[in-house]
Amino acid sequence: MSSSNTDEVMADAPAPETPAPVIDPAEQAKKAALVSYRRKLLEHRELEAKVKHSRKQLAKLDKDYDKSEDDLKALQSVGQIIGEVLKQLDEERFIVKASSGPRYVVGCRRQVSASIHVYATINWRW
């Protein structure tokens, strides 16, 4: 055989393949478990951030609710009634319909302009 024949035979022959590394099934399971763990850890961190944000919102809403309750209690405390001016009798007296139903004749302080109380809501003390 000539050297050119040998080269042709070698060119036609497939190149020797390097054997694929043998991966242990236990090693594959370990890698899959690590990938799954990292994915779940990331998901947990995202959910934890959402919970933290929701708790902040809840705290703000609780604060707003408590303030509203306090404001309502202040308006409903003894000696204060909310009502609507029905008619002005004279410079200092008005007929007022209370939010609870009855009508009252009430006076207005001189420091408060009576013109702003015509057909408006007022707050008075007994």
- pLDDT of 44 strictly over 70: yes
How far separated are the first and last CA of the chain, in Å rounded? 128
Note the Cα 76 to chain centre separation in Å.
31
More confident residue, 30 or 105: 30
pLDDT at site 126 = 45
Residue-wise pLDDT for 19-42, tens only, equals 667 778 899 999 999 999 999 999
Q: Compute the distance between CA of residue 73 and CA of residue 82 in angstroms, rounded to an integer.
A: 12
**pLDDT at 11 (0 to 100):** 55
Q: Read out DSSP for 5-45?
A: HHHHHHHHSPPPPPPPPPPPHHHHHHHHHHHHHHHHHHHHH
Which residues are within 8 A (CB) of 104 and not within 5 positions of it... i.e. 6 or more apart?
81, 83, 95, 96, 98
What per-residue confidence (pLDDT) applies to 5? 56
Q: Could you tell me if 55 and 71 are in contact, meaning their C-beta atoms sit under 8 angstroms apart? A: no
What is the pTM (predicted TM-score) of this model?
A: 0.41
The answer to whether residue 117 scores a pLDDT higher than 70 is no
All residues at 6 or more sequence positions from 100 whose CB lies less than 8 Å from its CB, including other chains: 81
